[in-house]
Amino acid sequence: MRPIICRWLPATAIVLCLPPLGAWQTPSNPPEKPVDFNRDVRPILSDACFACHGPEEGSRQGNLRLDTTESVFGDRDGYRIIVPGNSAASRLYQRISAKERRMPPASSGRTLTPKEIELIRDWIDQGAKWQSHWAFDPLKRPATPEVKDRNWPKNPIDYFTLARLEAEGLKPSFEADKATLLRRVAFDLTGLPPTPAEVDSFMADHSPDAYEKRVDQLLGSPHYGERMAMQWLDLARYADTHGYHIDSLREMWPWRDWVINAFNRNMPFDEFTIEQLAGDLLPGATVEQKIASGFNRNNMINFEGGAIPEEYHVEYVVDRASTTATTWLGLTMGCARCHDHKYDPIKQKDFYRFFAFFNTVPERGLDGYEGNADPVLPLPTLEQKRQLDDLHQQIANVLAAMPEKEVLALRNEWQKTHIATLPEPPSDGLAAHYTFNGDLSDALLKHDGKLVRGEVVYEDGPTGKTAEFSGEAEVRLEQAGDFDAREPFALGVWVNLYGLKSSEVLQKKDSSEHWAGYELGFDDVAYTGRHQRNLRVVARFAERWPDSAIEVRTKNRVPMDGAHHVLVNYDGSGKAAGLKICVDGRVWETEIAKDTLSGTFRTSASLEIGNKDTGGLFQGQLDDLRIYTRTLTDTEVENLAVHLPARVLLTELAGAPATEITTLEPDKPPQEADIGELAKAESKEQKQARLEKQHQARLTEYFLKHDAPEKYRQLYSRLAELRKERDKLEKSITTTMVMAEMSKPRDTFILGRGQYDNRGEKVTPGVPSFLPPMSRDMPANRLGLAKWILDPSNPLTARVAVNQYWQQYFGTGIVKTAEDFGSQGEPPSHPELLDWLATEFARTGWDIKAMQRLIVTSATYRQSSMASRELIERDPENRLLARGPRFRLPAEMVRDNALAISGLLNDKIGGPSVYPYQPKGLWEEMAFGEGYSGQSYTQSSGSDLYRRGLYTVWKRTVPPPSLTLFDAPDREKCTARRTVTNTPLQALALLNDPTYVEASRALAERTLRNGGKSDRERIDFAFELATARRPDPRERALLLNSLREFRSTYRQDQVSASKLLTVGETKADSSLARRELAAWTTLASMILNLDETMTKQ
């Protein structure tokens, strides 16, 4: 339902949405000033010249560099590129001002404006004073500048900003009024508006340090950590799913909670850095420190079809290197992945040495199908840990009552004496039997298999020989398995899941788009490859896919550890309930994905191994395929799964020495396995040992279940129950992805053109060569890198950090391009202030709250945001800081503000992400594939609908629409600054999104209950809740007039009033008159839409 609100707004009310203007100063024209190379000239050369005459050797033209003094000022066979003091003799000026063969050439797509040419000329004529790039210069503490007005500054920041203003012939703005200032600082430090009580308290406090006291209270608020985390989550590219079109949920909210708590505890920035980059490498690392290392596990993870594991592993490492460089160093280091950086002195070798720090994580290239991808850290609650400990002890007690030597002796005796008593596999109703013991023939001589193309290799398997299909063999079993929807049948086969690379195992279906027939296979093997741990079995029957079809899949997954027997039992009912899936002799619990079959699935197509129509010729091992014209009993299914491997093993092992029995292995605590080893090829000996261990475990299990003495059968039954209970509990435990180190690090190579398979020179971990080197006491791992990042000799880290904080409060950093401190970035508006703040940050022990306090208590921050038109024209982006900050709230805070004003906000801190209102079917419409946890959206209920935007579930391919409309990034990559737009869609969202419509009703109810008796009192109450001030007479008159119009409208339209009041999960207050509530709801919506409501000013 789309509530119609905006059409009832009177034209005069739009005036309320316009930003206020103040006029009290007119700036004078700035005096002439010398040309500064870093500020004025380097950006021009970087934009127009460095692509062909910069650091990258591969694209350099004419053997000329314009980024080094040697090339720029050196002799070049009788001429110089620049002759200081003489632009006319300088080849650079000659070429950029020439009428013919002017540089840059038209083919480059770059041009210089007359103003830019003039700047370069003036710089040369003024002596061509060269400066190294400011950001790479050593960090030195500048002296506080002298200013004329010594009464205005409140702390050292103000001397730097005032000195710039005085140099520009400007004066600072007056201080903002108390209510505006409180609202501004409350948003900046907590992300929430002040309550009416907080406003009243502050207004009544006339002490000289009233503002400073309020700042300290806000810094101590638990919501401070949430506000600080918003920007950090953008940098960390935080999300709740893995990020590709085939998507699954992940659990990373414990890391988000760690960030919030770290800010609230005022963890020093150096510790904050070390724990996030290398918390797992700290001596005796705590659980919290390991959680912190999840910063670099926030990258996207893939498991889609056709993906190459090594290719995506490289993508993950590239992402970590690039994100770390942007977040802490302000460098676009990823631009050197394919070649030397075109604009900055970052060599391709530098990039891959930096890359090497992150190339040691024991992870798979394709992972995440089931949720978190290894390495993960379990985070049991105290109660879960107690229960686990209790279960482990009970399991240990049962195992102690089953001495392994005694069980082995009994099993060996059983092997010798019971080989002849093993139950035969069922033969009644057997229609086809393919043994794969050297050919494709049917043992019953009814159907012969046909090798259409390719080759099948026969190797040792669980029943003697097994057929190895390479992915190039097309095999048809002709008319075997020809059934109708009303005919019962069973189909079972051994499949070796270790190394399986094909989803479809067997299919009998036609080749049309909406096919008829049936298929048996696994969910998305092609997406996971050999590196996934387990798979779900899926069976599909269709008359016309997907409209008339049955689809059933197992809830649990089959381990990819070797051969497993998979069987489908179908009762001929035409219903999904009549289709059972059995694995290793047991009926498994299933979930029904489709149950719409309305006709027959019989088809003339052949029964085939794999699916040639989707390019999925089978790649893996099969054995002992049996097809029955009836359903099998549970006992028959079990006999079929156990019989042949048992008979083969009993024959081979009878009289052999006993080996370990994995069924009786004790529980072990989780180990941090070297997951990288999983990708290594398995030797023939290793394969045989693994198969033998697997088969013996199955024999032992069969023995203990069926033929062991009663005592052991009961103990084993209890053991199975306890293990099932343990597994269920472990599955419920929250985990989070963390960093870890491989026992043997991977080798790192320079990758030609950035391609994963184009290896060049081998490199070792290191830092960019143009920056200070790592000291000898810094280990060549992530911990050493973190220490280097924080080393006093590093010129970037402190500058980048304080610039991010400044950006948070003023909307724009001192360096506007917060993500790029290189040549393509914008020079700092106040370079001395930036360096002073950076040195102050390090000098005070990297105290984050102290830095925030310093900024928000400065006179610069406390200025009014009002300005004359002349000042706006002179400095539209407020780069001179002649006025206070004024900009629309960030996306999450637009929503939080509306919820807080209305009284709906649930201010709970931390915990899992929530699912607020969003258009129905949006995730599903954008999803590819079915059955993945990140493909469907289930809306939250109750108070979870009103949590802060920070906790909204984040899916990169479908980020929250109500937040992206207000410029929230998709978080596919690190984001150091958000764009700010102003679009009609934003207004439409505020008028029609259920969150804001419901908030309008809640604000109306709050106003009618608590705002007084008269319309005037109530309007003042609602307006003050939204803006922290009372409306002036003109504004009040407009609102009163609008209220009268809304009342008139709803008196004539009861239906619209009722519809409006049903939006949202909360119920409208039945004690309030519906038409009156609807009128006030529409007025509240108007107030929530005010520019002043959504703007920090």
Residue 461 clears pLDDT 90, i.e. is over it: no
Instruction: Please provide residue 489's backbone torsions phi and psi, each rounded to the nearest 5 degrees.
Output: -160, 165
Residue 680 clears pLDDT 60, i.e. is over it: no
Report pLDDT digits (tens) over 183-209. Answer: 999 999 999 999 999 999 999 999 999
3-state secondary structure of 587: strand
Helix axes 994-1010, 984-992, angle to 10 degrees: 60
Distance CA 851, CA 840 (A): 8
Residue 528 clears pLDDT 50, i.e. is over it: no
Distance CA 455, CA 124 (A): 75
Residue written as token pair 């004025």: 40
What pLDDT was estimated at residue 467? 81
Instruction: Please provide residue 310's backbone torsions phi and psi, each rounded to the nearest 5 degrees.
Output: -65, -35
Report pLDDT digits (tens) over 767-818. Answer: 999 999 999 999 999 999 999 999 999 999 999 999 999 999 999 999 999 9
**What residues are paired with 587 via a beta bridge?**
582
Distance CA 278, CA 137 (A): 27
Report pLDDT digits (tens) over 881-892. Answer: 999 999 999 999
Which residues, 6 or more positions from 1045, have their beta carbon under 8 angstroms from its beta carbon?
Answer: 8, 10
Pick the range with the lowest mean pLDDT from 321-325, 622-626, 751-755, 973-977: 622-626
Distance CA 311, CA 713 (A): 49
Query: Sign of dihedral through CA atoms 890, 896, 898, 901?
Result: negative
Which residues, 6 or more positions from 63, have their beta carbon under 8 angstroms from its beta carbon?
Answer: none
Residue 587 clears pLDDT 80, i.e. is over it: yes
Pick the range with the lowest mean pLDDT from 161-175, 383-397, 412-426, 593-607: 412-426
Which contacts (CB < 8 Å, 24+ apart) does range 391-394 have?
391/722, 391/725, 391/726, 391/729, 392/667, 392/726, 394/722
Residue 929 clears pLDDT 80, i.e. is over it: no
Distance CA 253, CA 260 (A): 11
Distance of CA 545 to the CA centre of its chain: 34
Pick the range with the lowest mean pLDDT from 206-210, 449-453, 656-660: 656-660
Tell me the two tokens of residue 908. Answer: 């709970």
Instruction: Please provide residue 956's backbone torsions phi and psi, each rounded to the nearest 5 degrees.
Output: -65, -40
Residue 481 clears pLDDT 60, i.e. is over it: yes
Residue 264 clears pLDDT 90, i.e. is over it: yes
Report pLDDT digits (tens) over 403-443. Answer: 988 988 898 888 777 766 667 789 999 998 988 887 877 77
Structure-model confidence comparison of residues 128 and 225, the more confident one: 225
Distance CA 867, CA 883 (A): 7
Query: CATH topology of 37-130 equal to that of 427-631?
Result: no
Average pLDDT score, the chain: 88
> What string of DSSP letters covers 959-971?
--HHHHTTT----
pLDDT mean over 394-410: 91
- Measured CA to CA in angstroms, residue 874 lies from 816, 869, 1055 at distances of 18, 9, 52
Distance CA 678, CA 635 (A): 36
Pick the range with the lowest mean pLDDT from 68-72, 661-665, 853-857, 974-978: 661-665
3-state secondary structure of 320: helix
Note whether 532 and 365 are within 8 A (CB): no
Residue 900 clears pLDDT 90, i.e. is over it: yes
Look at domain 37-130 and name its CATH class: mainly alpha
Report pLDDT digits (tens) over 1020-1055. Answer: 999 999 999 999 999 999 999 999 999 999 999 999
- Measured CA to CA in angstroms, residue 701 lies from 443, 657, 662, 715 at distances of 29, 18, 9, 12
pLDDT mean over 114-126: 90
CATH code for the part of the protein at 427-631: 2.60.120.200
pLDDT mean over 572-592: 94
Report pLDDT digits (tens) over 691-736. Answer: 667 667 777 887 888 889 999 999 999 999 999 999 999 999 999 9
What pLDDT was estimated at residue 664? 62
One-letter amino acid of 786: A
Residue written as token pair 């029995």: 661
Residue 685 clears pLDDT 80, i.e. is over it: no
Report pLDDT digits (tens) over 150-179. Answer: 999 999 999 999 999 999 999 999 999 999
**Domain ranges within the chain, ordered by starting residue:** 6-19+991-1096, 37-130, 380-425+633-669+677-730, 427-631
Distance CA 971, CA 462 (A): 48
What pLDDT was estimated at residue 462? 54
Report pLDDT digits (tens) over 815-845. Answer: 999 999 999 999 999 999 999 999 999 999 9
Residue 3 clears pLDDT 90, i.e. is over it: no
Statement: the pTM of the whole predicted model exceeds 0.75: yes
Instruction: Please provide residue 152's backbone torsions phi and psi, each rounded to the nearest 5 degrees.
Output: -80, -45
Distance of CA 988 to the CA centre of its chain: 28
Residue 113 buriedness (CB in 10 A; 0-12 / 13-18 / 19+): exposed
Tell me the two tokens of residue 464. Answer: 């003697």
H/E stretch holding 685 reads helix 684-702
Instruction: Please provide residue 989's backbone torsions phi and psi, each rounded to the nearest 5 degrees.
Output: -65, -45
H/E stretch holding 456 reads strand 456-461
